[in-house]
Amino acid sequence: MTAPIRLGADIGGTFTDIALECGGRIHSTKVLTTYAAPEQAILDGIAIVMAEAGITPADLDIVIHGTTLATNALIERRGARTAFVTTEGFRDVIEMRTESRFDQYDLNLQLPRPLVPREDRFTVAGRIGAQGQELLPLDETALAALADRIAAAGFGAVAIGFIHAYLNPDHERRARDILARAVTAPISISSEVSPQMREFERFNTVCANAYVRPQMADYLTRLQVRLAAMGATCPVFMIHSGGGLITVETAAEFPVRLVESGPAGGAIFAADVARRFGLEKVVSYDMGGTTAKICLIEDFAPKTARTFEVARTTRFAKGSGMPISIPVIEMIEIGAGGGSLAWVDAMGRIQTGPESAGSEPGPACYQRGGERPAITDADLVLGKLDPDNFAGGAIRLATDLAARAIAHQVGDRLGLGVEPAAFGICEVVDENMANAARVHAVENGKNISDNVMIAFGGAAPLHAARLCEKLGIDRCLVPPGAGVGSAIGFLRAPFGYEALASRLVRLSAFDAGAVNALIAELTETAEGFVRAGTDGPIRRESTAFMRYAGQGWEIPVPLPDRPFTAADADHLRQSFREAYARFFGRAIDGLDGLEIEVVTFSVKAEDTRPLPPRIALTLGDRTAAAPATRAVFDPSRGDWLPSAIVERASLQPGSRVAGPAVIVERETSTVVTAPFDAVTQQDGSLLLIRKEAAA
């Protein structure tokens, strides 16, 4: 039986990456993203890799897709005009936010604007209590009149979020039925989008889902139609923010689950590489054209969370963005991609990002009309890139245009030459990424220097060695296909889904029957999504998010995969205390009557995959010849150094390239700074290893 032919497509802010797995080989390409019709770049990329593999669209068995379109729509506020219907008295929850402020002492603090302005938020009488009981019937007459108002106003989407709907969704479901009689726009309800406690996060999430739903449904329909028109009859699946695969139909209904889909693919790619090499502590570094993402991976699994923020108005400041309460692979993301623009602030400091040149017009060196310098322009001026062999020669870079943009926007304003200005740009972006990695590690109680870095994305291998220098990391892996790592990660992703439900359960009143019924319901939901893509064996993972009563947030506690009994209250209590001690150093003891409670239950289901073959790291036993050299600015030495230029395809397992060097391939280039050597591994990965560590 031959392996299925699988294709991964990742739409980024600058490039669309395509990876085709066919006959045991990966064929890949990068195509500039087309903003007006994003599916066009996918079709163009598919044509390239299919021609290389010698197959037709009809030969494809599955297409797996991830996209930043939902994220960009939220950040740029390009979604549908949305009506928000909520419980009387709670109209302003999404504007008032919570008592938490990301800068407590700033009297002029500007909070992010809510997605739905006040005039588009409507209330209706009816109330569900904190235990799920109906306190006040839903005012169906008022809802019918409101439906006519919403229909007449021409809203593109509707979001419904009622108080305590996560416990009892009856009012939300009834409201949807009534509104749907008059409104043709899609309607999202919070009890389906995010059935979790905390109304601000839940209301904001359902508003975000409704806001991007028409745009994403239209895009996904166009993609399917155009794939079918080119002869591809295979199913299309989407990768969601938690790292699993879901159907296009589910993605169209719950597009907020796609907000971190591309970065999730990258984390899965890095976790797969970590498992192959047996690396238990890894930091993944994914730098593309628009952003850089850093994720901690332990025991071959990325760290996950139930909430995250998009569109932070203050870099690294938790609380300055838009909260989304869905399962997600946890990472820190900054505007530091190859297309991120460099500029000088009012204090005369070089800054980079978050604004990006994207693909239209792109960095100045792309010769597409860009006049402002991007990171790629600085990399080119410093000799890291070959202007005649960028993207396999598909894009010719103009060094003079890059130098002109850097001089005009940065150098002239600071009294610097072009090369020092370019060095300053790269140092700022590298330090920003290093600082983001430090912050992320400290927030998780980790020492970043204990990790092996795995670098991928079109721009990461250009900066990885310098980042390792700043972070004190001795080893960095650049896997094969690093330039399209997220797209390859899609091919490694399981069919998976995580179902959650908030139920406040105090251990002193633990009801095993009620908990078993809830877990069974969540299991049925999660496995139902997985069964839409596979009929193979399914692995389940149950978690309780618990806290001491009175605390504001919870910690995850793994649950056994079996029915509970009354005696399990003590088991849960001990498991929580152990988990609490791991997180905070010790459990809280000695306080009489201190209650422990479960806030949210989670069941994650995914299909099982065979483990990849294990690969042993090698330090190399022979020196690779350098057929060519060119001068490259080495930041560790602060000077131009003659650097070996080596084709990655020419390297054999065990070959060692001494830094400084640039190892080139079609989708990216790996810069080996002077303190490092690069050793080719058995699978073609490059191991950057500090010279003194390799001795």
Minimum mean pLDDT among 72-81, 373-382, 563-572: which range? 72-81
Q: What residues contact 281, with CB distance under 8 A and at least 6 apart? A: 297, 298, 450, 451, 452
* pLDDT at residue number 154: 92
pLDDT for residue 99: 78
| Residues 649 and 687 grouped into a single domain | yes
277 — pLDDT class (breaks 50, 70, 90)? very high
Q: Identify whether 23 is part of a domain.
A: yes
pLDDT of residue 272: 93
User: Are 570 and 654 in a shared domain?
Assistant: no
Identify the three-state secondary structure at position 492.
Answer: helix
Residue 366 falls inside a structural domain: yes
The pLDDT, as a whole number, for residue 8 is 94
Tokens representing residue 110 in the block: 């500007």
Under 8 Å between Cβ of 353 and 334: yes
Q: Which residues, 6+ apart, have CB-to-CB distance to 169 below 8 Å?
A: 189, 191, 192, 195
pLDDT band of 694, cuts 50, 70, 90? low
Percent of the chain with pLDDT over 90: 64
Query: Picking from 152-166, 594-608, 610-624, 632-646, which range would have the lowest pLDDT averaged per residue?
Result: 610-624
Work out the average pLDDT over 162-167: 95
Cα 363 to Cα 357: distance, rounded to the nearest angstrom: 6
| Residue 50 pLDDT exceeds 70 | yes
Calpha distance 89→562 (Å, rounded): 42
What confidence category does residue 316 fall into, taking pLDDT thresholds of 50, 70 and 90? low
pLDDT band at 87 (very low <50, low <70, confident <90, very high): very high
Range of weakest confidence among 304-318, 361-375, 469-483, 622-636: 304-318
Residue where one domain finishes, among candidates 258, 279, 307: 258
Listed residues 375, 402, 427: the one ending a domain: 427
Q: What is the pLDDT of residues 501-552, one digit of tens each?
A: 999 999 999 999 999 999 999 999 999 988 888 888 899 999 999 999 888 8
| Residue 379 buriedness (CB in 10 A; 0-12 / 13-18 / 19+) | buried
- Residue 564 scores a pLDDT above 90: yes
Nearest CA among 261, 630, 263, 682 for reference residue 460: 263
The amino acid sitting at 461 is P
Mean pLDDT of 665-685: 93
695 has a pLDDT exceeding 60:
no
- Residue 335: predicted pLDDT: 74
Please check whether residues 601 and 631 belong to one and the same domain.
Answer: no
CA dist 83 and 62 (Å) reads 37
* Residue 552: DSSP 8-state: S
In this prediction, residue 56 carries a pLDDT of 93
Q: Which stretches of 502-567 are DSSP H helices? A: 512-531
pLDDT of residue 593: 66
Same domain, 584 and 684: no
Q: Is residue 244 part of a domain?
A: yes
Does the pLDDT value for residue 312 go beyond 70?
Answer: no
| CATH assignment at residue 247 | 3.30.420.40
Stated as kind and residue range, the H or E segment containing 583 is helix 568-584
**660: which DSSP letter?**
S
Give the strand pairing for 6-11 and 62-67: parallel
pLDDT per position as a tens digit, 396-426: 899 999 999 999 999 999 999 999 999 999 9
Is residue 134 over pLDDT 90? Answer: yes
Whole-number pLDDT of residue 305: 83
- Report the range of poorest mean pLDDT among 235-239, 314-318, 627-631: 314-318
pLDDT interval class at 83 (50, 70, 90): very high
628 and 555 fall within a common domain = no
Residue 692 pLDDT: 78
pLDDT of residue 353: 80
Whether 56 is covered by a domain: the verdict is yes
Domain hosting residue 351, numbered range: 340-427
pLDDT at 225: 94
Q: pLDDT (tens digit, 9 = 90+) per residue, 215-254? A: 999 999 999 999 999 999 999 999 998 888 888 999 999 9
Query: What pLDDT, on a 0 to 100 scale, did the predictor assign at position 662?
Result: 95
Beta-bridge partner residues of 395: 390
The pLDDT score that the predictor gives to residue 631 is: 94
Bridge partners, residue 662, by sequence? 645, 671
pLDDT at 591: 57
596 and 509 in one domain?
Answer: yes
Residue 397 lies in a domain: yes
* Residue 273 pLDDT > 70: yes
Q: Which of 191, 226, 258 is the last residue of a domain?
A: 258
List, for residues 533-546, the tens digit of each pLDDT value.
Answer: 888 889 999 999 99
- Beta bridge pairs of residue 663: 646, 670
Q: Are residues 603 and 668 in the same domain?
A: no
Task: For residue 463, give both structure tokens.
Answer: 């900066």
- pLDDT tens per residue, range 287-308: 988 888 899 999 898 988 888 8
Same domain? 535 vs 599 = yes
What span, in angstroms and rounded, lies between the C-alpha atoms of 533 and 522? Answer: 18
What is the domain count for the chain? 4
Asked if residue 331 belongs to a domain, the reply is no
Please, which pLDDT band fits residue 592 given cuts at 50, 70 and 90?
Answer: low
Residue 489: predicted pLDDT: 92
Cα angle, residue 274 at apex, residues 655 and 689 outer, rounded to 5°: 40
Q: What is the CA radius of gyration of the chain?
A: 26
Q: For the chain, what is the largest distance between any 2 Cα atoms, rounded to a whole number of angstroms?
A: 81
Comparison of pLDDT for 310 and 342, the residue scoring more: 342
* pLDDT value at residue 304: 84
Q: Strand 628-634 relative to strand 639-647: parallel, antiparallel, unpaired? A: antiparallel
Residue 636 domain-assigned (yes or no): yes
User: Are residues 647 and 572 located together in one domain of the fold?
Assistant: no
Only one residue has tokens 């028109």, namely 229
531 shares its domain with 600:
yes
Which has the closest alpha carbon to 654: 691, 686, 689, 622?
Answer: 622
Mean pLDDT of the chain: 90
Q: What is the mean pLDDT of residues 682-690?
A: 94
- Tell whether 384 is covered by a domain: yes
Assess whether 600 and 649 both reside in one domain: no
Q: Does the pLDDT of residue 569 top 80, yes or no?
A: yes
Residue 188 — pLDDT band, cuts 50, 70, 90?
very high
Regarding whether 66 and 15 lie in a shared domain, the answer is yes
CA distance 243 to 606: 10
**Integer CA distances (angstroms), 532 to 47, 192, 607, in order:** 28, 18, 11
